[in-house]
Structure 1
Amino acid sequence: MEAKKPVFQFLWLFFFVSAYHNAFMRRALAEGVTPQEAKQLRDEVRGMFYHAFNGYMDHAFPLDELRPLTCGGEDTLGGYALTLIDSLDMLALLGDKERFAASVEWIGKSLRFDINKTVSVFETTIRVLGGLLSAHLIASDYATGMKIPSYDNQLLNLAEDLARRLLPAFDTPTGIPFGSVNLLYGVDEHESKITSTAGGGTLTLEFGVLSRLTNDPVFEEVTKNAVRGLWARRSKLNLVGAHINVFTGEWTQKDAGIGTSIDSFYEYLLKAYVLFGDEESLFIFQEAYRAAMHYLYNDPWYVEVNMDSAAIVWPLFNSLQAFWPGLQVLAGDIDPAVQTHTAFFSVWKRYGFTPEGFNLATLSVQDGQKSYPLRPELIESTYWLYKATRDPRYLDAGRDMVSSLQYGARCPCGYCHISDVEFHTQEDHMESFFLAETVKYLWLLFDLAVGPDNLVENGPYKYIFSTEGHLLPATPQISLVREHCSYVGAFCRSVGCKEDYHTSEIATDLLEANGSRFHEGTSGISGGEFRNAGSDYGRNEYYGDYGWDRNVRFPKMVEDQTQKNLKKEKNKNENENENNKKKKIS
């Protein structure tokens, strides 16, 4: 019996709040962000970056992160100048050749990973490995305009050394890695066997890029095996839980959602296809996304449910969910992205920031989850929605976000965590991702409005952002280094169907840029449950590098009828095998 999609009695309250919010937005749009103001906001965000970056370099470097209230530093991850590494590609985006070159030179000469430190596999991969790879790809290429003449692959060598020190974490019966590993001694015998789905499933981009740059497939293989290990243990509803035992493969927390502990698992499935042309990842994404929209989506919010029964376990908006509308833009599913972003932004408008948890039943901040640690996710989605629709409401939202950060989070040497969004209480900590993501997406938003002049929009390649906001270019070496094997390709060959794929114009443009064979025939496929990728709220389609078209439809990867055909083909083969056995016996 199919689980019914839950409906909340209290959601009428949201629509009242939403109607008020929409009226406010219409009034705001009467003024709007003018081109001149967009330029001023872009410059203001640039100043925000340097206020925080200089604060870190003056008071915390080479420690990992800044204490912005007391103007000190702290080691939070491994003690290897984390914030500097996380900031490298932002320096390049801003065209700061002097600081970029000096930072790359210092890291190449001074940084080593043969240290007795136990680190998070997930955080080290997305922040450090991703930061090193992104900066290497910029510093080594004349086409980026940031080529460093004296550069000799120092960052790539460091990235490879770091990744090899992370490899012991993948030595588990399931292929899903331990959550932590010692960089000198490997996995401790007492290390927890429990890890999150995001922790095990958000490594494919960084490790995949490294495999292509080093011609060593081991990095990509272990991370793809980790994804397969997680997906193989999905429920019958195609949902995954939050935490799993990496030895037994048993779920220790069966709460399924799109936020905490799971979020970037979905993100890297789609992005692995867009960056690498990996059809297997796309197929898994399609199935996982369809399940999420059926069981987790309560228009316009998302909830957490039991992965087996789909029963609601937590009617909560948590701040990590805010990346989802941006991912939907990349997939081409714009209408629900617009609706959900409006709901999420209404929470920001109410408090000035998004709390870690907002209870949808009480429409109030969840106890124990009142903080805002300078997270970028809502800003990231704002940037992607503006990029897709050119709707000025997203510039207005960005302006509000800048104001909140400037008046609520700015402190003497940087920007502070907000420990309580209701009282705007400041806390003496600044995560490295504030520079890697939060100000980056704000700056890109307003630069796009002014007339983009940056590496992402006008550079030699199309770029995919990692979950830490690092720039990974879709170069021929990265996208097309190998022939990708896939479940989908094998599936289509087995039943004789046409291999016809489509995500969105944003995604297919990245593939087309490098002549990927997967771009051929991506005009869409017929049938299935489609969503209109054109936003009813946008008045202008963007026909630039990421040409949007209202006729683009969100795909159904394989027709239901084709699935039935495959099942029939399987049964036919089984019957033939059985008949052959009987003939041999007789």
Structure 2
Amino acid sequence: MPVLSRRRIGAYLLAGLLVFFFLSFRSLDTDGFTSAGRRPGVATSAAGDHPDGEHVTGRPQSRWKRLKTQYPVTSFRPIPTGTPLTLPKVQKDFGTESDADRKERLLRQHRVKDTFTRCWNSYREKAWMSDELAPVSGGRKDFFGGWGATLVDSLDTLWIMGMRSEFNEAVAAVANISFETSKEKDVNVFETNIRYLGGFLAAYDLSGDERLLEKAVEVGEMLYVAFDTPNRMPITRWNWNDAARGKAQVAHENVLLAEIGTFSLEFTRLSLVTGDPKWFDASQRVMEAFQTQQPKTHLPGLWPVLVNAKKMTFNEHTDYTLGAMADSLYEYLPKTYALVGGLLPMYREMYQSAMSTAIRHNLFRPMLPDQEDILVSGLVTARLEDGQVVTKLKPEGQHLVCFAGGMLALGGKLIENQTHVDRGEKLTNGCVWAYKASPLGIMPETFFMLPCESTRQCKWDEQLWMQAALEKAGMSINDINPEEAAAQIAHRRLPKGFTAIPDARYILRPEAIESVFILYRITGRVDLLESAWAMFRAIDSNTRTELANSALHDITVTEEKPSMSDSMESFWLGETLKYFYLVFSEPDLISLDEYVFNTEAHPLKRLLP
């Protein structure tokens, strides 16, 4: 990706107009499938089956279910059974709240809900059933199959915010979405899994509405076909037209780590609620392959950002990160362990090994003018040179990798590792610092910083910082006078501490508030509520349009209002505003001791003893 987006890696371009027109009217060879010949909204498919052959709802099988399997599984991994373990408590025991604190918290919560409601009403009026609302022009966009990504992503947010009439209307609408048609030639299996399958499962877990389970099974049946390859590794950018025709499929050679490794939560939960082991089996085969090769990479414990799914070799590439292209694979390790109540210890072991390496190699303390003790997660290149592994840190921060603070804090609580909790806290503090240090109070998409030589102490050296900033711009501080050096840095609008900001966008991302929410639920730190409120006000005031909220091109501008990109991805309603709402909610609303959030912020019920 120009920096690829976590949980939405690769929002790729629509097919060309002529191709789209052709596909819209062409009939496929398999049981009447069409690419875009029917508008989403006419229900033609149904829920899947239980292993005993009885339909979940009694409706006809979906056509994906009836499609002949090219490479059938002869023995399924059994769904985890037994009494779930009593895992360590995650959330802090919050004491009695004063009347003044409660009043202030609820006022902030209502402000967040008002913003959500405003965006939801505009989507409902101008882009209903489409994937996204264009928040400036009022148009509609379809980047994620044309199946109403914002509609599905928002289901559980509507429920959590108590908007029952809007929720019921939305459920009635999604019941009519057909996942046998699409406005796109290729399906991003990763995005479809986290947004649609995750969205339906979470809304079902919260409401118990069987129509949502029907849709979850319907999406699950479609996604399962992407795993129908000789080695059962999924095709992540999947030509579903070829699959629908019965054409044999082979997994690809260059696959993003996150895109192949982010199925265990949704697929396991779907198997648990249906009793059908095939989805658990599908994701488990992938994760077992990762487990086998985890100690064999150039940076044992971590996997590189690109893997070969066709050959099932996950250890050849040289770049290692917790950020874009890799993120949610690591996020799902402790969360899957929690989801199944500790019945799959392999996920705990894989998480421990991965984070031990990441803490040692990827996390760094940046040099800051206020000398605050924070951490940032960067990218490490690990190469073999003369038989030895040589590593090099790229000190690039990302808004996307802000999720890692919450992951480490949560994982540390689950496995009783205080070091993880402490590192997670410092990573989260780092993201809060980046918000506060930025001119608009919003951190950029990507940025560079100067790593300290020691994590114990790091004295600010302005000359050294200026030198690093100029080197990132291709200049040397020795070749220009101090006035010119200061002018160059001012021209690049670099707050002190940042050495470069190559991508100054803000795309309504949730990762920073996600970790603030998790850390607040774990620690009860009151200052996190103030940080969350400052973040929300900065975001809402700078991104607000007449209709909703829009992504920004450049958050470093100070002379004028930042320009808007007319984009509002579904995660704004499905994630960002949900986390803002929950941080100002009572702690028992979606307790972290009862739910885990998938990487699209959809809460799934944990197995509890």
Name the aligned partner's letter for residue 235 of structure 2: F
The verdict on how the C-alpha distance between 1:284 and 1:252 changes in structure 2, with shifts beyond 3 A counting, is closer
The verdict on how the C-alpha distance between 1:305 and 1:123 changes in structure 2, with shifts beyond 3 A counting, is same
State yes or no: 1:246 paired with 2:335: no
Q: Distance in 1 between matches of 2:506 and 2:579?
A: 17
Q: Alignment RMSD, CA only?
A: 2.3
Q: Is the 8 A contact 1:45 1:439 kept in 2?
A: yes
State yes or no: 1:360 paired with 2:449: yes
Given the alignment, which residue of 138, 155, 163 partners 1:96?
Answer: 163
The verdict on how the C-alpha distance between 1:174 and 1:314 changes in structure 2, with shifts beyond 3 A counting, is farther
Residue deviations 1:100-154, cap 9 Å, x none? 111112211x1111115421111100000011111122232xxxxxxxxxx5x22
Higher helix proportion? 1
Given the alignment, which residue of 165, 178, 199 partners 2:235?
Answer: 178
- Offset of 1:192 from its aligned partner? 5.2
Q: Distance in 2 between matches of 1:314 and 1:453?
A: 40
Residue deviations 1:544-579, cap 9 Å, x none? xxxxxxxxxxxxxxxxxxxxxxxxxxxxxxxxxxxx
Q: Distance in 2 between matches of 1:208 and 1:115?
A: 26
* 1:163-312 → structure 2 map (5 Å cutoff): 163-172=220-229, 175-186=232-243, 193-234=253-294, 235=297, 237-250=300-313, 253-276=317-340, 277=342, 278-299=344-365, 300-307=375-382, 309=389, 311-312=391-392
TM-score by length of 2: 0.67
* 1:187-586 → structure 2 map (5 Å cutoff): 193-234=253-294, 235=297, 237-250=300-313, 253-276=317-340, 277=342, 278-299=344-365, 300-307=375-382, 309=389, 311-331=391-411, 332=413, 333-351=420-438, 352-361=441-450, 362=469, 363-364=497-498, 366=500, 368-423=502-557, 424-448=562-586, 452=587, 454=589, 456-457=590-591, 462-474=594-606, 479=607, 514-515=608-609
Compare 390-399 and 346-355 and name the one that shifted more.
346-355
The verdict on how the C-alpha distance between 1:365 and 1:174 changes in structure 2, with shifts beyond 3 A counting, is farther
Q: Is the 8 A contact 2:319 2:380 kept in 1?
A: yes
Given the alignment, which residue of 47, 63, 73 partners 2:140?
Answer: 73
Residue deviations 1:84-115, cap 9 Å, x none? 1000001110112111111112211x111111
The verdict on how the C-alpha distance between 1:355 and 1:190 changes in structure 2, with shifts beyond 3 A counting, is farther
Q: Distance in 2 between matches of 1:374 and 1:74?
A: 16
- Offset of 1:390 from its aligned partner? 1.4
The verdict on how the C-alpha distance between 1:365 and 1:52 changes in structure 2, with shifts beyond 3 A counting, is farther
Q: Distance in 2 between matches of 1:405 and 1:190?
A: 43
Q: Distance in 2 between matches of 1:51 and 1:312?
A: 46
Which secondary structure state, in structure 1, belongs to the residue aligned with residue 194 of structure 2?
Answer: helix
Q: Is the 8 A contact 2:262 2:332 kept in 1?
A: yes
The verdict on how the C-alpha distance between 1:247 and 1:106 changes in structure 2, with shifts beyond 3 A counting, is same
Residue matched to 2:191: 123
Q: Is the 8 A contact 1:303 1:312 kept in 2?
A: no
Compare 419-428 and 54-63 and name the one that shifted more.
419-428
How many residue pairs get aligned? The number is 427
Q: Distance in 1 between matches of 2:546 and 2:408?
A: 37
Residue deviations 1:498-536, cap 9 Å, x none? xxxxxxxxxxxxxxxx21xxxxxxxxxxxxxxxxxxxxx
Name the aligned partner's letter for residue 430 of structure 2: A
Q: Distance in 2 between matches of 1:139 and 1:446?
A: 22
Structure 2: 5+ residue runs without aligned partners?
A: 1-99, 366-374, 384-388, 414-419, 451-468, 470-496
Q: Distance in 2 between matches of 1:372 and 1:183?
A: 32
- Offset of 1:341 from its aligned partner? 1.7
Name the aligned partner's letter for residue 423 of structure 2: P
Which secondary structure state, in structure 1, belongs to the residue aligned with residue 564 of structure 2?
Answer: strand
The verdict on how the C-alpha distance between 1:258 and 1:196 changes in structure 2, with shifts beyond 3 A counting, is same
Q: Distance in 1 between matches of 2:196 and 2:279?
A: 16
Q: Distance in 1 between matches of 2:429 and 2:268?
A: 35
- Offset of 1:425 from its aligned partner? 2.5
- Offset of 1:419 from its aligned partner? 1.5
TM-score by length of 1: 0.69
Name the aligned partner's letter for residue 128 of structure 1: Y
Residue matched to 1:563: none
- Offset of 1:247 from its aligned partner? 0.9
- Offset of 1:36 from its aligned partner? 2.9
Q: Distance in 2 between matches of 1:263 and 1:462?
A: 23
- Offset of 1:252 from its aligned partner? 6.6
The verdict on how the C-alpha distance between 1:365 and 1:221 changes in structure 2, with shifts beyond 3 A counting, is farther
- Offset of 1:368 from its aligned partner? 4.3
Q: Is the 8 A contact 2:449 2:498 kept in 1?
A: yes
Q: Distance in 2 between matches of 1:254 and 1:125?
A: 27
- Offset of 1:254 from its aligned partner? 2.2
Compare 220-229 and 260-269 and name the one that shifted more.
220-229
Compare 40-49 and 179-188 and name the one that shifted more.
179-188
The verdict on how the C-alpha distance between 1:319 and 1:82 changes in structure 2, with shifts beyond 3 A counting, is same
Name the aligned partner's letter for residue 206 of structure 2: I
The verdict on how the C-alpha distance between 1:366 and 1:178 changes in structure 2, with shifts beyond 3 A counting, is farther
The verdict on how the C-alpha distance between 1:173 and 1:367 changes in structure 2, with shifts beyond 3 A counting, is farther
Structure 1: 5+ residue runs without aligned partners?
A: 1-32, 141-150, 480-513, 516-586
Compare 290-299 and 40-49 and name the one that shifted more.
290-299
The verdict on how the C-alpha distance between 1:173 and 1:297 changes in structure 2, with shifts beyond 3 A counting, is farther
Given the alignment, which residue of 114, 117, 142 partners 1:47?
Answer: 114
Given the alignment, which residue of 102, 126, 134 partners 1:59?
Answer: 126
Which secondary structure state, in structure 1, belongs to the residue aligned with residue 323 of structure 2?
Answer: coil
Which secondary structure state, in structure 1, belongs to the residue aligned with residue 503 of structure 2?
Answer: coil
Q: Is the 8 A contact 2:235 2:250 kept in 1?
A: no
Name the aligned partner's letter for residue 164 of structure 1: E
Instruction: Name the % identity.
Output: 29
